[in-house]
Amino acid sequence: MMKWVFGLMLLLSVIFGLVTGNAAPLTESALNSCVEAVELFLYLIGGMCMWGGLMRIAEKAGLTTALAKIFRPLFKFLFPGLDPSSKAYGLICMNVAANVLGLGNAATPIGLNAMHELEIEGQKRGLDGTVASRHMIVFIVLNTASITLIPQTAATLRLKHGSLSPFDIFPAVIVTSVIALAAGLLVALIFNAADKRKAGA
């Protein structure tokens, strides 16, 4: 769907540029934007490599595993009925811990494996494998609206544009992340409860 939206926007830009006699500025802007995109990529990749390396060191040092243990009591509430010793439970803990540490690249394959294991767990309980279970939905919310302790991408962009304190957005990022996560979990739990009442009726 989005490819059609962006394609239409691009086509309309070209048409209006030609009609209004702004073809030259349009071409210049397009070329400059391409150069700026490559520059931004190179600028961001440096920060990503640095923080990614630091987070990998933290992971190898056992910090991810320690965070996973801290999250276990919370997950007993969010994932009722899921065996804490199961592979799915361990993968969920590792995924959230990796996201908190900013290890997005490491969190993605862990998250895919966690979803696969949750599907298997659901099939064991007789759930329809073609429909997302409660555990799957809650996990997607946790993965999507995860709290990140080091917002390195936003900080790198701020540094590029002249910010003297690129990490001074940290408190705002934490507050908004917590609110977004709480709102997502609340909606997921409310709809799950409504679905249960509907099924019981």
Residue 22 in tokens: 């702004």
pLDDT per position as a tens digit, 51-61: 667 667 766 78
Who wins on pLDDT, 19 or 198? 19
What does the buried/exposed string (b/e) look like for 126-165 if buried means 16 or more CB atoms within 10 Å of the residue's CB? ebeeeebbbbbbbbbbbbebbebebbbebbbbbeeeeeee
The 8-class DSSP code of residue 155 comes to H
- What are the extents of the domains in the chain? 47-200
Give 85-116 as a DSSP string.
Answer: TSHHHHHHHHHHHHHHTT-HHHHHHHHHHHHH
The model's pTM is 0.63
Per-residue pLDDT tens digits for 117-141: 888 887 777 776 667 788 888 888 8
Model pLDDT, residue 146: 76
Cα–Cα distance between 143 and 112 in angstroms, integer? 11
**The token pair that represents 66 in the structure block:** 């320690």
Does residue 201 carry a pLDDT above 60?
no
